[in-house]
Chains A and B, each alone.
Chain A
Amino acid sequence: MNGNRREVLVRAGIFAFFAAAGMGTLARRSAASESQVVKVVAQRFQFTPSEIALKSGRPVVLEITSLDFIHGFNIPALGIRTNLLPGPPTRVAIKALAPGRYDFLCDNFCGSGHEEMNGTIVVSD
C-alpha cells in the first residue's frame, strides 16, 4: 500500500468514526427527547404496574386505561392529577424527571380497597 492510499484510508476511517459517533449522539438526543410511552391499567383497587421504572432525563407519557370506575390519578409531588374515565386510555404527559421516587394514588374514592390503590414511579440515572 502506498502512502497516498494509506492516507485516504486513514482519513476515511476517521470520517467514518466521527460520522458514527455523530449518528450515535443524534440517536441518543432523539431518544432522550422522544417521550417514552408506558401503558398502565387502573382497576379497583390497583394500578398495574404499580411500580413504573423510568430513566432520568427522558419525558414519558403514561397511557392509563381504567376498566371499571372513574378513578383518580394524582402525583402530588409533581402537581399532576386527572380523572381516569373508563374507555379509551387517558394520556398523562410527564416531563423528564430527576432521579427519585414519585408516589401516585387514586384520589377518587372507589370502594373498600381504595386506600391501597397507589404506586410509585422510580426514576434512575
Chain B
Amino acid sequence: MIDRRRFLQLAAVGGGAVFASALPGSLRAAGYEEFFFVQLSDAHWGYSGPANPEADTTLRKAVASVNALEIQPDFIVFTGDLTHTTDDSAERRRRMTEFRGIVGGLKVKDVRFMPGEHDASLDSGAAYKELFGETHYSFDHKGVHFVAIDNVSDPGANVGEAQLQWLKADLAKLKKSTPIVVFTHRPLFDLAPAWDWATRDGAKVIDILMPYANVTVFYGHIHQEHHQQTGHIAHHSAKSLIFPLPAPLSQPKRTPLPWDPAQPNKGLGFREVEAEVNDARYKIAEFQVTKA
C-alpha cells in the first residue's frame, strides 16, 4: 500500500499541482488496490528547431527524473509522438530505435507505448508496429481495465470502424462499474478543431464508453495540461517533453511557445497518477523535467 503522505510530498517537490478526478462511490470497499503509473508524452525524438535547442537531452533528463522518483510506478505509459515525423522511412526507424534505447534506461521495465501522428500517420503505423507492437490494445492491472486507442495511424485522425468494433467487444466483457482508463494521443472530444485538436470520429468512441460508469482518459498531443469532462468521463492531457504549445485557440496560430534559455524546461514535464480505487479517486501529480 502506498504511503499517501509520501506521495503528496513528492508531488510538492516536483512543483506540480495535484488534480483529483473523482470516481463514484460505488467502487468504495470493492477490494481493489492502490497503485501508481507514470504518463509521459510527446517526446518528439529527432526534433530540431528553435522551440527546444536542447531537444537532444530533454528525453534523457525525463528518464533520469522518473528514475529519481522515490516510489517507482507500477508501469509507465508514453501517449504518443515518441518521435518527430520524417519523410525518410529509414530515418523514422532510426529515431524510433534511438528512442527505445533511451527509454530502455528506465528502472521500471513495464513500459507501454502508443503512437502519435508523428510516429504513424505517414506510413499507417508500419514502422511503429515493427518496433513497438500493436497500436491499440488493452490490459488489466489491479482491478482497472486499461485501453489504448489509436487515433493517429489514419492521417485523418479517424479511429475507424474496425477499431470501434474491437473496442465495443473489448468492453463488452466488463461490468458497467469496472474502472476503465483510456490512453490515446489526440483528444477524443472537439477541443479545438481549428487547430486539429480533435478526433474525427471521437464522438463514436465516447458513445461506446458512455455506458460505463467509471471512465477516465489520459492523452497527449496538445503539449500542455488540460482537464475536461464529457458527461461523466474525465479527459486529462499531459505536458510534452519537447516544447509547450499555447492554450487552445488563445492565439491565431498553434505555434510553440518561445523557448526561454533561462528556464529551458519550462512547460515540459510528466505526471504520476495515483489510482486510489478504493477511495474512488485518481490523483494526478505533475512533475518537472529537472534531472541532468
Binding site for B on A (CB under 8 A): 70, 72, 74, 76-77, 83, 103, 105, 107-112, 114-116, 118
Q: A109: which of B155, B193, B194, B195 is its contact (CB, 8 Å)?
A: B155
B84 within 8 A of A: yes
In the complex, what residue of chain A is closest to B200 when comparing beta carbons?
A107
A109/B157 in contact, CB under 8 A: yes
B121 within 8 A of A: yes
CA distance A15 to B117 in the complex (A): 68
B121/A109 in contact, CB under 8 A: yes
Binary CB contact string for chain B from 77 to 91 against chain A (1 if under 8 A, 0 otherwise): 000000011110000
CA distance A5 to B278 in the complex (A): 105
In the complex, what residue of chain A is closest to B121 when comparing beta carbons?
A109
B175 within 8 A of A: no
| A–B complex contacts, Cβ < 8 Å, 21 sampled | A72-B156, A74-B193, A76-B193, A76-B194, A105-B195, A107-B200, A108-B155, A108-B156, A109-B85, A109-B122, A109-B152, A109-B155, A109-B196, A110-B155, A111-B85, A111-B87, A112-B85, A115-B196, A115-B254, A115-B255, A116-B255
Q: Which residues of B contact A107 (CB under 8 A)?
A: 156-157, 193, 196, 200
B253 within 8 A of A: yes
CA distance A62 to B281 in the complex (A): 51
Interface centre among B155, B156, B157, B254 (most CB of A within 10 A): B155
Interface of chain B residues 39 through 98 with chain A (CB within 8 A): 84-87
CA distance A75 to B117 in the complex (A): 21
Binary CB contact string for chain B from 250 to 268 against chain A (1 if under 8 A, 0 otherwise): 0001110000000000000
A103/B84 in contact, CB under 8 A: no
Q: Which residues of B contact A114 (CB under 8 A)?
A: 85, 196
Binary CB contact string for chain B from 170 to 200 against chain A (1 if under 8 A, 0 otherwise): 0000000000000000000000011110001
Q: Which residues of A contact B87 (CB under 8 A)?
A: 111-112
Interface of chain B residues 223 through 253 with chain A (CB within 8 A): 253
Q: Which residues of A contact B193 (CB under 8 A)?
A: 74, 76, 107
CA distance A76 to B152 in the complex (A): 20
Question: How many interface residues does B have (CB within 8 Å)?
Answer: 20
Tally of A-B residue pairs with Cβ under 8 A?
43
Main secondary structure of the interface of A (DSSP, over half): mixed
In the complex, what residue of chain A is closest to B245 when comparing beta carbons?
A115
CA distance A105 to B252 in the complex (A): 12
Q: B117: which of A105, A109, A118 is its contact (CB, 8 Å)?
A: A109
Interface of chain B residues 100 through 143 with chain A (CB within 8 A): 117-118, 121-122
Binary CB contact string for chain B from 151 to 162 against chain A (1 if under 8 A, 0 otherwise): 010011100000
Q: Which residues of B contact A70 (CB under 8 A)?
A: 155
Q: Which residues of A contact B194 (CB under 8 A)?
A: 76-77, 103, 105
In the complex, what residue of chain A is closest to B190 when comparing beta carbons?
A76
CA distance A109 to B86 in the complex (A): 12
CA distance A105 to B195 in the complex (A): 8
Listed from nearest, the 6 A-B pairs whose CB atoms lie closest are A109-B121, A109-B117, A76-B193, A109-B155, A108-B155, A76-B194
CA distance A108 to B117 in the complex (A): 10
Q: Which residues of A contact B157 (CB under 8 A)?
A: 107, 109
Min CB gap A109→B, angstroms: 4
Known A105-B196, A110-B155; 8 more pairs at CB < 8 Å:
A83-B156, A105-B194, A107-B157, A109-B118, A109-B121, A109-B155, A111-B87, A111-B122
Min CB gap A121→B, angstroms: 13
Interface of chain B residues 259 through 291 with chain A (CB within 8 A): none
Min CB gap A101→B, angstroms: 9
Q: Which residues of A contact B255 (CB under 8 A)?
A: 115-116
Min CB gap A85→B, angstroms: 12
